[in-house]
Amino acid sequence: MLKLSRRHLLKTAAALSVLAASPLTIVPAFAEDSVHAVLNGLIKKYSDEAKTGMSNGDVSALFERDGFRDYLDVYPVGDLAGGFVWKPGMGASFVGPYSKLQIKAPFTDYLPLPEGPVLDASKKYRIGLVFHGFNHPWLISLADTAAWEAKRHPNIELEVIDAEFDDNKMGQVIDTWIAKQYDGIVLWPNREAPMGPPVDRAVAAGIPVVSLDRRTSSEQISSEVLGNFYANGLQQGLYLKHAAPEGNIIFNRKDLGSTADSIRTGAFLEAIGNTPGYKVLANYHTNSQRTQAFKSTADALQAFKDISVSFNTGGEEAMGALDAIREANRLNSAPGGKKIMILANDDAREVLKEIKAGNIEMVSPYTPLIGDIGIRAVVMHIGAKAGLNEAPPKLIMTPNLPMITKEKMNIEGIETLTPDEWPYAYGPEVSG
């Protein structure tokens, strides 16, 4: 009798997604040297090595205990749609309609749509964007980019709703749009499972649906725009290996089981798992809260006098860790009087400022500026439904982005960028 575990099903779904994407994926020769391709190659290399075993007992124990393999194996890693090659400097600049902040969106040339009316110019297309968090700097930037793209096309009418981290509300919003026969729906789901049924209902009603950044449990969804968590964690590990062959690490992680934590932390552990010099001192889940990361780090600094690395799954955590280390006057308290290395994700402007000041070692960017891709993808789906163009792939990978360091470096073929070379940061400027 055939037995199918959840893991097998997830793997199959991911494989089918990549397969579905592949017919439209034309990879030109020069794409092999792109940051995206280099990072995908490194992901494969370190993942394969980790699968054969980890020589570092501490790292291996944490990796096994939290079941990272299950998550990593189903996270999609693949080529960009249409053979797109992203290079630093690409994109468009504008003022965010919601945040009122200056934005440079990196991927405006990805699956591009020319400015002006889309599809049937005589028709008005009503698109709904539902997400959570006008009060969240990362998410408001996502909405900014979606609104910017919609505004470039006079026959798109975009309605943006904040579901305020209430899955039921998001479901109700989608059902309302189904009743109103909207032409397309774009969403940022907070959690996978609850959003599956509403998305299925929309698709069944003939409305294309595109999810951004996170996934839903729907297998019917038209497209998913997602990407580089794997490259984030991997680069944190590669940087650490490059900077120090040994060290005592404390972890400030996001919610246990969240995709961001599972993939970033898992990829980090894969990268350092075969280097024997690292020791796991403490492992905290600070749930994306700066205050919590601050407290955990402050307490860890009292428990351990030999911390040399602070690994943080997100930028909030990294800033909390830095503040705690600063308050304890422990910036240079790593063994040998060295600086405690702070490794971060998420390219908020405040994090970049600390990199420039030399307080945070590196950050792997994870840009929220992808809302525009969602709008373009849903427009393409609407067009495909009307026979006006081909549908975009089901899985639209966002480009892997190179890490940002204070000085330019080359780490295993990745050319790092400096804060001054990174115009894509989000969030408010920090003066002083």
In the numeric block, the tokens 């966002």 are attached to 398
Contact 399, 80 (CB under 8 A): yes
Within positions 328 to 367, which residues make up the interface with another protein, using CB under 8 A? 328, 350
Site string for another protein, 402-431 (x = CB under 8 A): -------------------------xx-xx
Q: Which is nearer to another protein, 40 or 297 (CB)?
A: 297
Contact 381, 223 (CB under 8 A): yes
Q: Does 390 bind another protein (CB under 8 A)?
A: no
DSSP-assigned beta bridge partners for residue 363: 344, 404
Q: Does 294 bind another protein (CB under 8 A)?
A: yes
User: Which range binds another protein by CB under 8 A, 18-26, 52-60, 79-87, 317-325?
Assistant: 317-325
Contacting another protein (CB under 8 A), which of 274, 289, 389, 418? 289
Q: Does 303 bind another protein (CB under 8 A)?
A: yes
Q: List alpha helices for 225-314, DSSP H.
A: 229-243, 259-272, 290-303
Taken as a whole, the chain contains a residue count of: 432
User: Which range binds another protein by CB under 8 A, 21-29, 85-93, 223-231, 283-291?
Assistant: 283-291
Q: How far apart are CA 319 and CA 339, in angstroms?
A: 16
Q: Does 283 bind another protein (CB under 8 A)?
A: yes
Residues 6+ apart with CB under 8 A from 8: none
Number of residues that bind another protein (CB under 8 A): 43
Q: Does 140 bind another protein (CB under 8 A)?
A: yes
User: Which range binds another protein by CB under 8 A, 18-26, 87-95, 127-135, 195-203?
Assistant: 127-135
Q: Which is nearer to another protein, 353 or 385 (CB)?
A: 353
Q: How far apart are CA 369 and CA 425, in angstroms?
A: 9
Within positions 46 to 105, which residues make up the interface with another protein, using CB under 8 A? 98-101
Contacting another protein (CB under 8 A), which of 247, 320, 368, 399? 320
Contact 17, 395 (CB under 8 A): yes
Sign of CA dihedral 134, 136, 140, 143: negative
User: Is residue 172 packed enough to be buried (19+ CB in 10 Å), middle (13-18) or exposed (0-12)?
Assistant: middle
| Residue closest to 272 by CA, chosen among 59, 43, 38, 48 | 59
Q: Does 135 bind another protein (CB under 8 A)?
A: yes
Contacts to another protein by CB under 8 A: 98-101, 133-137, 140, 256, 281-287, 289-292, 294-296, 298-303, 305, 319-320, 323, 327-328, 350, 427-428, 430-432
